[in-house]
Each structure stands twice: as C-alpha cells, then as structure tokens.
Chain A
Amino acid sequence: MRQALIPVLSVVAALIVIWYVAAVGLNSAWAYNKAERANVELNLSDLVKDTLSQEKPRLPAPHQVAIETWNTTVEKKITSKRSLVYHGWITLSSTLLGFAIGMSMGILLAVGIVHNRAMDISVMPWAIASQTIPILAIAPMIIVVLNSIGIQGLLPKAIISAYLSFFPVVVGMVKGLRSPDRMKLDLLKTYNATRAETFWKLRLPASVPYLFASLKIGIAASLVGAIVGELPTGAVRGLGARLLAGSYYGQTIQIWSALLSAAVLAALLVALINLVQQITLKRMGML
C-alpha cells in the first residue's frame, strides 16, 4: 500500500499539471480575443491569470471546478435547486432502487438457470448476446413510453439502472453457483443432502466472491443508467440533467462539477461494496 502511494500521488500530480497547462492552452484564444478588442498587450502572467479565471472557459481549471463544487454542495442549502447534493440524491436514489431491483432479479434468474436445464440452454445464450447490444440506446424510449402511460419520476430511471445491472449479476452469479467442483458436490451427495441443502450450504456460499465482483460492475452500470436516464426528461433534476443543462447554456464549470460529483458518487458506491465484500468474506473465512 505504501509502495503505491508515491507513484499514485505523482501520477495524479502530473495529471493536474497537464490539466492546468491544457486549460491555459485551450482558453488562450478567448483571452487573446478579449485583449485585442481592448487594445492591450498580453504578457504571459496576464494570460495565465485570465485563462484560469474565465467565466465560461473551454476547459475550466481544477481549482475553478473545486470551488464551484464546494459552493454548490456545502455552501448551498441541500433543498435548493442549485445544490449538487440535491441533484446527486435524485440520481443516487434511482441508482440504488434500480440496483436493488436488478440485483434481486439477476440472482433469481441465476438460481433458475443453475437448477433448470431448459432455462439454462434457452436463456443463457440470450443473456450473453444481449451484452453486445448497446442497451443504453433505448433508455430515452423507456423514459418517454413510461411517461406516456403515467409513470414518472424515480421508477423509469430505476428500470434502466436495473436493466443495466441485471446482466452482469446474472452472468457472474451463474459462474459462482457453478464454481463448486465435482468433489464437493459428491461429498454433499454422500451426506445425503437434498438439492435445497446443496444450494444453501455449498453453492450459495461458494458464489459470494463472484457475486461481489459482478456487483461492483453492476453498481457502476446502474449509475451510468440513471445519469443517461435523466437526459430525455427535459433536464429537470439529477446529475444527468445538470450535464445537459450545462451543455445547453455553455456552463462548462457546471458540467465539470456535475461530472466530478458523479465520479465521487461512483467511487463511493464501489468503495462501499468493496467494504461489504471485505467484511463478508472475512466473516465467512474466505479472506
């Protein structure tokens, strides 16, 4: 862990330096344009100062994004329409609802696939093939269709999230439930264990590491689903709506701070699952 710290920090520092240089480079055109109209000669320090403090820069500097994020999370009341906590919560709630639906459906289908041969060979090829299809493309349609039959708000976005987290869970869980080898299955047979007992005492515990691996993929996919699901609703609420509104009005700093909060949210969700995984596996004696 300590070995990794210095390299990681220096890579991150290098990225931030590159970001600053790129910000100066990308925003300089506008700075020169302004200077020309005001008939002043720009020296280097003026140029840097101007490019890092524009109102609608092509690439906002890291500190601008950080200040905007701070202002819209900590300084604003969380009930305010301009608070990122408010928008983040909207996105988070549909992510979590969708993830819960997708996870339970995925686990149920996986159990069915493992115990029913017909289901295995008829459904499994489709579950795998559907991974190659850009499912996210139908997200706007689901939103609009559900809207037209009167279902609004949380549920349509949650359905997209559920759909996206469903397949990774199915595939991972089927792999996990099948992971006990012949010898262990034979051992349970010599104990005269029933199918249900084999499931609860061998297959389910053996599948836990696989389940957590796919849950991490699933929750990241859920968040993407919730964000994309917010695009077609006319950009009202949620982080996706902040992105779209920012792109309509050229508010780049707003886009970047929404992006930063989405990134923080994703990192927190994955870290949370990681933590639950550590605790669970430790309690199960698998770590």
Chain B
Amino acid sequence: MSLVILAMLIWGAAWFVNVRLADSSFAERRSIRLLVPTIFGLTIILMWELIVRGLDVPLVILPPPSLVIQTTSENLPILWKDFVQTFLKGALRGYLIGCTSAMLVAILVERYRFLRRGLLPVASFMAALPIIGTAPILVMWFGFDWHSKAAVVVVMVFFPMLINAVAGLRESSFIQQDLMRTYAANAWQTFFKLKLPVAMPFIFNGLKISTTLALIGAIVAEFFGSPIVGMGFRISMSIGQLALDMVWAEIVVAALAGSLFYGLITIIEKGVTFWHPSQRG
C-alpha cells in the first residue's frame, strides 16, 4: 500500500513541477517544451511500476515496466527476427508498392477529368471502409508468408495515399499553370517543375498516415495466419500462453518501429519541402 501512496506523491510532485515549468517565463524555450512531456512520460511509467508492485497486480493482467524491459533485452534475437519478418519483409515492401502505385494512379486521375470525377468519390468511400477485413481473403490468396501481409498493406495504404496525392497535384493555381504555358512548357515539364513540387506537402501527409497503417496492416494480417515468426504471430501466441511480458515487449518494438518510421519520413519531408511555410517556422 505504501508504494501506491508513494506513486500518488510522485504524481503530485511531478504535476506541480510541470505546472510551474509551464507557467514560468521560460515556457517557450525548446528545452522546457521537451522537458515537460518527458517528465510526464517518466511519471506515468514510474506510477505504473509502483502501483503494479504495490497492489500485487498479477502478471497475467499487467506486468510492471521493469519486467517488460528485462524481457525485451533477454529476447532480442527473437524480437529482431519478428521485426524483420513483419516490418522489413511485410510492412515495408507493401508500403513501397502501395504508395508507388497510388502515386501512378494519382497522376492518371489528375490528367483525366473523367477519372477524377469517377474514381475520386469511389476512392474516398473506400478509404472510410474497414479495409483490414480483406486480410483473411488475401492470406488465403497469397499464403501465410510475408507476401499476403505485403498485399494487405498495399490495399490499406493505397486509398489514403491516392486521395492525398490527387489533392496535392491539384494544388497549383491557374495563374501558375498559365505561367508555365507562357514559358512554352509541355505537360511533363509542367508536371515535374510545378505540379509535383507543389504536391509534396500533401504527398508527405499521405506517406505519414500510411506508415501507421502499414504497421497495423502487417500485424493484424498475421492474426489470420502466419509462419511461426512475426510480431502479430508472437502477440497472439504469447497471449495464448498468458506471457504478457512478451506481448508488451512486442508492443515496445512495434511502438519504436512505428515512431522511427514516422520520424524518418518527417526528416525526408523537412529536406524536400523546406520551402513550405509549415517547415520554415
């Protein structure tokens, strides 16, 4: 019980520090803006540890973070193999195929008004559907290995990516297009020198949304059948064995992979769209 009281005290103290920091005159500084969320995150983890230990919460309900870290470090080879299978083989390949094909279709849709009128409403309808449900069908078609996972990822990322890319390609104004005409630029020159650069912020928005979708697709598709390796497989198997520390270790890996993937795309975006107001601030 004393551990729980300690947790509450730490929560109160951390909250007090954060309120003081946030209301202080340094609040706009970069270091403070990083420090405050860090304190918040660490406090949550510390409270989780103390409350789980203090109340003797059984392992099959919630393992303490220290045990999760220990399990993660002890099982690095298994986690790495799962990561390679699910992320590098399934999610990443599907992501590349899906985003590339969506870009190509977007170029066609932008060129032809008929397709834009017809395909775009269908695509935005499809983007709202629970596409993850196609996973059992694709697993049946492409087998248990990474091919079916990549296929699920392709279908999942295609429509959000298409909608964003088309919106981006239509972003250039008539004045800009007329200017290109006065330069006697042909369709491809207009595309590469005007439409594509202007579309970049939108394209990167689509790419960023797709990173999370890719990981979700690859993991959930493994619930419908997989070889005996992979993050989704390990999660469902460890749940069956009530080895919740292993489940949490996989979640740590998934969270790290998701954030790093997203971060990587953000860094590339910074380099490509350095001219955009949102990047200059």
Contacts and interface: CB of A to CB of B under 8 A. Distances in A.
Given A118-B18, A145-B62, A267-B128, A134 B133 contact: no
A252 B128 CA distance: 23
Interface residues of A, number: 61
Given A118-B22, A148-B60, A140 B235 contact: yes
A263 B118 contact: no
Interface residues of B, number: 62
A33 B33 CA distance: 67
A118 B224 contact: no
Contact of A144 (B128, B137, B239, B262): B239
Find the residue from A137, A138, A255, A266 having the highest chain B CB count within 10 A.
A137
A3 interface: yes
Given A141-B244, A148-B60, A267-B128, A134 B258 contact: yes
Contacts of B125: 267
A125 B220 CA distance: 26
Chain B interface, >50% SS class:
helix
23 contacts: A7-B114, A8-B121, A9-B118, A12-B122, A118-B18, A118-B21, A121-B32, A122-B37, A131-B212, A132-B258, A133-B259, A134-B215, A134-B219, A136-B132, A137-B219, A140-B236, A145-B62, A240-B133, A243-B135, A247-B140, A259-B133, A259-B137, A262-B129
Interface of A: 3-4, 6-12, 15, 26, 58, 117-118, 120-126, 129, 131-138, 140-141, 144-145, 148-149, 216, 220, 223-224, 227-228, 231-232, 239-240, 243-244, 246-247, 250, 252, 255-256, 258-259, 262-263, 266-267, 270
Interface of B: 15, 18-19, 21-23, 27, 32-33, 36-37, 39-41, 60-62, 114-115, 117-119, 121-122, 125, 128-130, 132-137, 139-141, 211-212, 215-216, 219-220, 223-225, 231-232, 235-236, 239, 242, 244, 247, 250-251, 254-255, 258-259, 261-262
